[in-house]
Amino acid sequence: MGSILIVAEIQKGTIREASYELAAFASKLGGREVTSLVIGSGVAGEAESFAKKGGGKVYVADDAALGDYNVDGYAAAIEAAIEATSPELVLISNTPSGWDVAPRIAAKLDAGFVSDAFDVQDEGGKLVFLRRVFNGKLDCKVTAETDKVVATIQPGATAPFEGSSDGSVETLSVDLSGVRAKFVETKVAEAKGVDLSKADIIVSGGRGVGDPEKFPEVIQPLAEALGGAMGASRPVVDAGWLPHEYQVGSSGQVVAPKLYVACGISGAIQHLVGMKASNFIIAINKDPDAPIFEVADIGVVGDLFEVCPALTGAVKEAKG
């Protein structure tokens, strides 16, 4: 059975949670040796942490020139790690840098490429990837005909690696003489309309709200009564009911307000990843088995069209 190479990603000096999720997938594919690569500048400490949390033997490509993302430099480091480990599977997170570098690596290796998978399984020794298609309506299974596969995995598709592991760290020397790309600057997109990342209280509506006109009637008044901002799940944004800046989740904003109220939201992993760090979560859903209740501090099983207006009224009354 082949081995797995995890390409860990550094964000603001630390390894992203998504990389620990890759470690969880790798450990699930038991029997395969796991090695990892940490790329950056001054990241030896992070490599040590990763080695103890599912990263296995961790190669660290530590160079001032790799401090900011640079596709040529990162590709050179990944190729050096591949040469050292000959993996059957290269796992990369499905993040903007992953979108950029992963296909290059696959093309260079002449490997199969699976993008945006949310699960990977071992079926009789064969790697089978699961991808969502048709806007999440269908799941499809993908296998590669090639001996080597490069796959990008959705952040938030699984829980991060839990527990501890016995790993080691080794420095990887990377030839950066062929680097032509130059990092210029990071530009943070200007927040339009609503900046959920700064809101202390967020009241989000999901597909359960059912109608764009109900947002200003039911969700917005509760948000305003609480002195908070309105948010939404992805189907609301996909349907054009609210603009993208309202979206909470893995492909929207990641928020951690003091209070998060989820109304008519089922609690899919991609939504949870964007709000589960909230200090206090209230979920209103008419389905008692909705997964959102697993992360809620208070769960209200009921019709949001009754519960939200009642709550809005009670908050207004309490505030006088």
Ligand X SMILES: Cc1cc2nc3c(=O)[nH]c(=O)nc-3n(C[C@H](O)[C@H](O)[C@H](O)COP(=O)(O)OP(=O)(O)OC[C@H]3O[C@@H](n4cnc5c(N)ncnc54)[C@H](O)[C@@H]3O)c2cc1C
**Selected range binding ligand X among 101-109, 159-167, 190-198, 298-306, rule: CB under 6 A:** 298-306
Candidates 252, 250, 274; CA nearest to 262 is: 274
Give yes or no for residue 244 binding ligand X (CB under 6 A).
Answer: no
Phi-psi region at 136: left, alpha or beta (left = phi > 0; alpha = psi -120 to 50): left
Interacting residue with ligand X among 19, 70, 85, 250 (CB under 6 A): 250
Interacting residue with ligand X among 56, 249, 257, 299 (CB under 6 A): 249
**Selected range binding ligand X among 25-33, 107-115, 178-186, 300-308, rule: CB under 6 A:** 300-308
Q: Which is nearer to ligand X, 66 or 242 (CB)?
A: 242
Q: Which is nearer to ligand X, 139 or 147 (CB)?
A: 139
Q: Are 191 and 245 in contact (CB under 8 A)?
A: yes
Give yes or no for residue 233 binding ligand X (CB under 6 A).
Answer: yes
Q: From residue 125, how far is each of 24, 29, 121, 143, 145 by CA, in Å?
A: 18, 9, 9, 12, 13
**Selected range binding ligand X among 20-28, 31-39, 184-192, 269-277, rule: CB under 6 A:** 269-277
The residue whose two tokens read 């069209």 is: 305
Cα 19 from Cα 82, distance rounded (Å): 17
**Selected range binding ligand X among 40-48, 68-76, 220-228, 242-250, rule: CB under 6 A:** 242-250
Give yes or no for residue 268 binding ligand X (CB under 6 A).
Answer: yes
Least distance from ligand X to the Cβ atom of residue 234, Å? 3
* E strand or H helix that includes residue 141: strand 138-142
Cα 51 from Cα 185, distance rounded (Å): 31
Cα 34 from Cα 178, distance rounded (Å): 28
Q: Are 251 and 270 in contact (CB under 8 A)?
A: yes
Give yes or no for residue 132 binding ligand X (CB under 6 A).
Answer: yes
Give yes or no for residue 264 binding ligand X (CB under 6 A).
Answer: yes
Give yes or no for residue 195 binding ligand X (CB under 6 A).
Answer: no
Interacting residue with ligand X among 52, 57, 244, 286 (CB under 6 A): 286
Cα 209 from Cα 212, distance rounded (Å): 8
Least distance from ligand X to the Cβ atom of residue 288, Å? 9
Q: What are phi and psi of 44, to 5 degrees?
A: -60, -40
DSSP per-residue codes, 13-44: TEE-HHHHHHHHHHHHSTTS-EEEEEEESS-H
Least distance from ligand X to the Cβ atom of residue 303, Å? 5
Q: Which is nearer to ligand X, 35 or 312 (CB)?
A: 312
Least distance from ligand X to the Cβ atom of residue 227, Å? 23
The distance from CA 77 to its chain's CA centroid, rounded to whole angstroms, is 23
Q: Which is nearer to ligand X, 59 or 129 (CB)?
A: 129
Give yes or no for residue 139 binding ligand X (CB under 6 A).
Answer: no
Please give the residue ranges that form the binding site for ligand X (CB under 6 A).
132, 136, 154, 206-208, 233-235, 247-252, 264-266, 268, 270-271, 274, 284-287, 290, 303-305
